[in-house]
Amino acid sequence: MQYSDEELIKSLPGFKNNYAEVNGTVLHYVEGGEGQPLILIPGWPETWWAYHKVMPLLATNYRVIVIEIRGMGSSQKPLEGYDKKNMAKDVYELVKKLGYEKINISGHDIGAHVAFSFAANFPEMTSKLVILDTPHPDPGMYQLPMLPILSANYTYPWWLAFNQTKELPEQLLAGRMSIVIEWIFRNLLKDQNSIDEFDKAAYAFAYDSNDGIRASNAWYQAFPKDIEDSKTYSKLMMPVIGIGAAGYEMLQYSLPNYATDLQFVKVEDSGHFLLAEKPEETANLIKGFLG
């Protein structure tokens, strides 16, 4: 199958697929490169493949470990445990199993939620934190409008509410998830060629099942718990960078509430999926920040 991990990894020499049992589930991860460990976590509606353009660029400096969070891709899809604090524990147990005492960590979209939660819950293991385009859920999410704002220049995030609904999305979308994936990339990319038909098919292959839709929606259904957890976190003391494109203003609004050693960089001329649209610039920003 051309979209399987075994086939996809062939385009990335020096990387390999691995699996680990952690925190009551099994995670799939891809690793390669040499140097200090750098954990990379993707978001919805992507998989580890979201990082395929930046992985070779980062592997020259770091031991790159791209983790598919619970519910994603080839990782297991249990019925529960999708709050970001618990998913951070998944990552923590994997890091410990790999023998690392301290890591750099980065996440995009839902992956940014998990990366932030890792830093908040395991600060002693976090050297530096890179947040890509999406802050962790906080009380401000309750202010998101239920209806699109007339004449406002933004993409109305209807999927945040739709994905909250249990059972109905998989009943409607199993076998049709490619429709949603096509819509998301068409509306959230500036450069439509940066994620091609092969990439879209690879993501549809990963999500297009009852369990794939149910589990990924569970990331969204955990937002109220994530928001409550965010209220208990101490401010992060390690260096943090928010690298944003479409989400730059959201990062500027949210992150100062949670971090003390903080910087921001805006990636110009990119939509939400900056790893695909601006891979070299994003990789260079990460390398410049981590040193």
CA distance 157 to 145: 9
Residue from 126, 88, 124, 132 nearest 104 by CA: 126
> Which pLDDT tens digit goes with each residue over 57-105?
999 999 999 999 999 999 999 999 999 999 999 999 999 999 999 999 9
pLDDT digits (tens, 9 = 90+) for 155-196: 999 999 999 999 999 999 999 999 999 999 999 999 999 999
Round to whole Å and give the CA distance between 255 and 252. 6
Mean per-residue pLDDT over the chain, rounded: 97
Residue type, 121: N
Categorize the per-residue pLDDT at 1 as very low, low, confident or very high, splitting at 50, 70 and 90: confident
The angle at the Cα of 38, spanning 37 to 42, to the nearest 5 degrees, equals 145
- CA–CA separation, 73 and 75 (whole Å): 6
Whether the ω angle into residue 139 lies within 30 degrees of 0, i.e. cis, is no
Measured over the CA atoms of residue 94, residue 230, residue 283 and residue 55, the dihedral's sign is positive
| Count of all residues that appear for the chain in the document | 291
